[in-house]
A and B are shown apart, each in its own frame.
Chain A
């Protein structure tokens, strides 16, 4: 059994007991425990079930690389699936439950998949469930979904808050082991700004556990002294619980700081995503130990050798009383020594190398540990827990020679540098045959804008295999990075460290060498996704030669741990199967983030009220107080209508239209774009931007204009007013304001850079209200201040003046077909002016109306709407707007495009009005159908609805649509099928349903 030892535990506070709950049971750990160490201390070796076969799984590692120990963590609004037990710090009241089992962790029905494993090889799903097609969706997928998968998705809204932080440093150092500390010290001493980050809560990495001696003192003392020295450097900042998540172009890095995961329920943000710009980045991310591939290497109790000694030294936890060590290198002997020192038994060290190890092996032998060289584990016995290992020669086929009873196995297949961050932005790797690992190629780093490398690697992450080498390497890297960012490195030597002499490791990718199929199909490569040696071999046989293809076919390395333990072993097996060298096979692509980061951190502050910016007009609060039904238009909120108490949205719209047409309506049109264009070349410029002539517009007058893209398609429309000799004011659609301003600036800055034109976007400077209806003039005359008569201010004119004491600019324009004034006042006076209009308009029953009434009224008049009648494929000619295409101009944006054969094609659908025979409202977007199918087997069509409303004025459904030869087919009746299968018949009519002669607006 796994249990707590009587020793102190380097990271534990034995004074502070911590209670927590696992699968409904209350357990106890200590402050400083991880959830993994606390579970082990309570003999909870079984922590979950595997993804595909539901095999029992225990923790295999002690850090970020852990594939098995994943739990549902927390409850309710603080629930999170797939939390790694090895990186979850224990806190009082922690609640966790294991995943992917039913009905319980101890007894799981899905484990039948395990006994059927022979029937579930790599690519099983692709091969088995492809026919019949429909069965996948309705039969296979739901069943497979139920049996596969890991944690549950959270159901409640997240209780925590998150944030971003932008930081700028000269040198960013990722990884706070001894190499990171030394690099920070060297760079800091050179005077540059340094940020050193470490993903765990502790500094120093593995060195204290592995017994390093640095500068004549134990590693722990050296770490403490170095931290003290760094603390005295004002230019150096250090932070723990902060992981380097990704490195991107131009020295950009993301770091993930976990502020309150270890102490929930306080006021801190939970996570902070750091967005860092660094001159140079050093990754001192250490190395990860590799598992060995032997049959049953996934049974709970089989762990990495380094993890076993981490649990003993750091957390005073014994994974078992009797631990067999199996290795292909000297480092794992440290585990045997640590176990022995803790008073635990090591029945045997199984060393695959015929010649065995060096100095550490001698120490082990001196302690009386039995060391067998040239041997292998043929097979691990046990189900939910290791009971024994069977030993055989490494060179053979796995015939068992000896049975060694034990309750844990510590395995080491060598060490792989953590090259992820180096690789994110294009750093290349080389294969180091001596240590059987990939390490960064210093000659091919990620390159910055200047063609120079901006990432360097130091220490064990760079392939160093001893403490002394790692410190020298880190010192060099720190100095070089400081120099590259303008610092002056000190002439000081790196601290010296004592390293034991190590015998060479031997690559071992299968154990034993000649294992048959039966053993190979129980050798796990990827523990989380259940990928075995036999699966990768099968993929190779079936022609998946590329490592990227093999990955996707077998799912090797595609789990939440992204193959931190499995990648190298998997590609070595693939290389062997293909009879190729490992470097020829290569690695899969390393992509950020290094370990998963929370969605909350990515979103940062953007949630709740500040999820998105919400643009408010000056009448926003008034609308809120008067029953508004909002319509989002871009980031704006516009009133769709204002509901009276108990009134439906539909009824409100009808009422607003009727009241406006009968007497007086009021619209907040403040969101319409208002762009000033000024300069000696402004007229010439606007003649290019608009399809019609704007240079000939007289000061004091307005003109409706169309804008097209250079491809000829309609992009925006609006009324242009000429303010003076060289100044125009261009109104755009609400959604078009920013886009059209940018469009104008782009043409001015890139194409017509020598034209003297300035623009300014004044959209928000003014509140603009439309006073609409037969009594509009009476209202303005009542308020008084300027002459708004037909003679002084005719249709399509504008004037500056006072109304009711306000400074205004009044435009005589109409989008409703009624007598209408659009009046602009400074935005800060908008609310006051709105209130004034409402008060004074009371005698005419003034009715504020929203965007839907605006739409209905413009449709009754046959006015087009950008975004309804246009969709990016419509040209002015389609809409019968030929009158707005100037024939006098040599050019305008879109002119040439409109002359292309497809644009000039008479078969293009054209705008008409549609009137239903039964008076009903056509469905929006409905198509008019004709007999027969097209070449794709779809029903042939001859037109579609672009806008459709119930007209309260005419009391029947009206619509606009684009129809084949439409304007030539007045009176023809078209068939529009509805989704319920019935057909609505509609007659082609003029799009102008109301007041075709314009008598109402021109009074």
Chain B
């Protein structure tokens, strides 16, 4: 396990926003009936969090639960706990029709923070990122320029973003370019 390294090993850049790869994070894809009490209980047991509403992400310390689709959740936990947690949820849902898989290694995670963070993303994703329309806790699966990505507003000036591991460098370069000084739009 000590040999595990994230795609960009913590790359960082500063511009109109700080862009940072956050290293490894445990992530579990859960597909199932989101109205099921067993699903809610299994997630709560593990993370202490309730199931999120549509297009929301509930967070607490190193834990998070994001709404991915009407039958899919993304459960976030510390990387080291992912294998055991996947087995635990799968066990709890053994009697339900559900799919629980560890996807921690399939992704890269970034933070985009600072005053320019909203505009950095608004140059790349077709999402209304105005303060009144994208509030803390909101989560969006979308695209970032030419690749799929999802992001959520973790804190008032800090977004977290996930993409596939193979395109981590592309996404980092996109965010860095978008945050290059001098190109602040002054719109959001």
Contacts and interface: CB of A to CB of B under 8 A. Distances in A.
Interface of A: 161, 163-168, 193, 237, 266-269, 272, 275, 277, 604-606, 609-610, 612-617, 635-636, 676, 678-680, 756, 758-760, 762-766, 806, 826-829, 831-833
Interface stretch (B39-47, B48-56, B57-65, B168-176): B168-176
Contacts of B167: 613-616, 635
A762 B106 contact: yes
B22 interface: no
A610 to B, nearest CB: 5
B141 interface: no
A235 to B, nearest CB: 10
Given A829-B4, A832-B3, A605 B177 contact: yes
29 contacts: A163-B183, A164-B124, A165-B122, A165-B123, A166-B123, A166-B129, A167-B122, A604-B145, A605-B123, A605-B124, A606-B146, A609-B173, A610-B145, A613-B147, A613-B167, A614-B170, A616-B167, A676-B101, A679-B97, A679-B99, A760-B99, A760-B103, A762-B101, A764-B164, A765-B104, A826-B105, A828-B4, A828-B105, A832-B5
A284 B122 CA distance: 27
Contacts of A267: 180-183
Interface string B153-188: 000000000001111111001100110111101010
B99 A610 contact: no
B81 interface: no
Nearest to A267: B182
Given A614-B169, A829-B3, A765 B178 contact: no
B129 to A, nearest CB: 8
A166 B126 contact: yes
B128 interface: yes
A166 B127 contact: yes
Given A164-B124, A764-B107, 10 more contacts: A161-B177, A165-B122, A168-B128, A605-B145, A612-B146, A762-B103, A765-B104, A828-B24, A829-B105, A832-B4
A381 B168 CA distance: 68
Contacts of B129: 166
B138 interface: no
Interface in B100-150: 101-107, 119, 122-130, 133, 145-147
Given A605-B174, A617-B166, A828-B24, A765 B103 contact: yes
Contacts of A829: 1, 3-4, 105
A106 B7 CA distance: 62
A832 B32 CA distance: 34
A636 B107 CA distance: 16
A645 B5 CA distance: 30
A683 to B, nearest CB: 14
Contact of A268 (B124, B146, B183): B183
Q: Residue among A277, A636, A827, A828 with the most chain B CB within 10 A?
A: A828
A338 to B, nearest CB: 37
Nearest to A759: B99
Given A616-B166, A758-B31, A764 B185 contact: no
Contacts of A766: 105
A168 B178 CA distance: 19
B185 A272 contact: yes
Nearest to B170: A613
The 8 A-B residue pairs with the shortest CB-CB distance, nearest first, are A832-B3, A267-B182, A615-B166, A758-B99, A168-B128, A828-B4, A764-B106, A827-B105
A521 to B, nearest CB: 52
Nearest to A616: B166
A831 B5 contact: yes
Contacts of B4: 826, 828-829, 832
Contact of B105 (A605, A760, A764): A764
Contacts of A756: 97
Nearest to A833: B3
Contacts of B185: 165, 272
Classify the interface of chain A: helix, strand, loop or mixed. mixed
A676 B101 CA distance: 9
Given A237-B187, A828-B6, A829-B3, A764 B166 contact: yes
B14 to A, nearest CB: 15
B38 interface: no
A609 B128 CA distance: 27
B36 to A, nearest CB: 13
A606 B166 contact: no
B133 A168 contact: yes
B117 to A, nearest CB: 14
A763 B129 CA distance: 31
Contacts of B147: 613
A764 B173 CA distance: 20
A617 B119 CA distance: 30
B29 interface: yes
Nearest to A763: B106
Given A163-B183, A237-B187, A616 B106 contact: no
Contact of B145 (A606, A763, A831, A832): A606
B145 A764 contact: no
B31 A269 contact: no
Contacts of A617: 166
Contact of A764 (B119, B130, B165, B174): B165
B143 to A, nearest CB: 11
A680 B97 contact: yes
B106 A827 contact: yes
Interface in B1-47: 1, 3-7, 24, 29, 31-32
Nearest to B177: A605
Given A266-B182, A267-B181, A613-B170, A166 B125 contact: yes
B169 A166 contact: no
Interface in B51-109: 71, 97-99, 101-107
Contacts of B126: 166, 275
A698 B169 CA distance: 40
A615 B165 CA distance: 8
Contacts of A266: 182
A712 B4 CA distance: 44
Contacts of A615: 164, 166-167
Given A762-B106, A826-B105, A163 B5 contact: no
Nearest to B119: A165
B109 to A, nearest CB: 12
Given A167-B122, A613-B170, A269 B183 contact: yes
A164 to B, nearest CB: 6
A765 B98 contact: no
A573 to B, nearest CB: 45
Nearest to B142: A166
Nearest to A275: B126
Contacts of A678: 99
B169 A760 contact: no
Contacts of B98: 758
B178 A605 contact: yes
B128 to A, nearest CB: 4
B181 A168 contact: no
A505 B32 CA distance: 72
Nearest to B2: A832
Contacts of B166: 615-617, 636, 764
B165 A827 contact: yes
Nearest to A678: B99
B23 to A, nearest CB: 10
B11 to A, nearest CB: 13
Contacts of A606: 145-146
A718 B20 CA distance: 38
A679 B96 CA distance: 10
A176 to B, nearest CB: 16
A168 B173 contact: no
B146 A613 contact: yes
B58 to A, nearest CB: 22
Nearest to A617: B166
Nearest to B6: A828
A765 B106 contact: yes
A702 to B, nearest CB: 19
Given A166-B127, A680-B97, A765 B5 contact: no
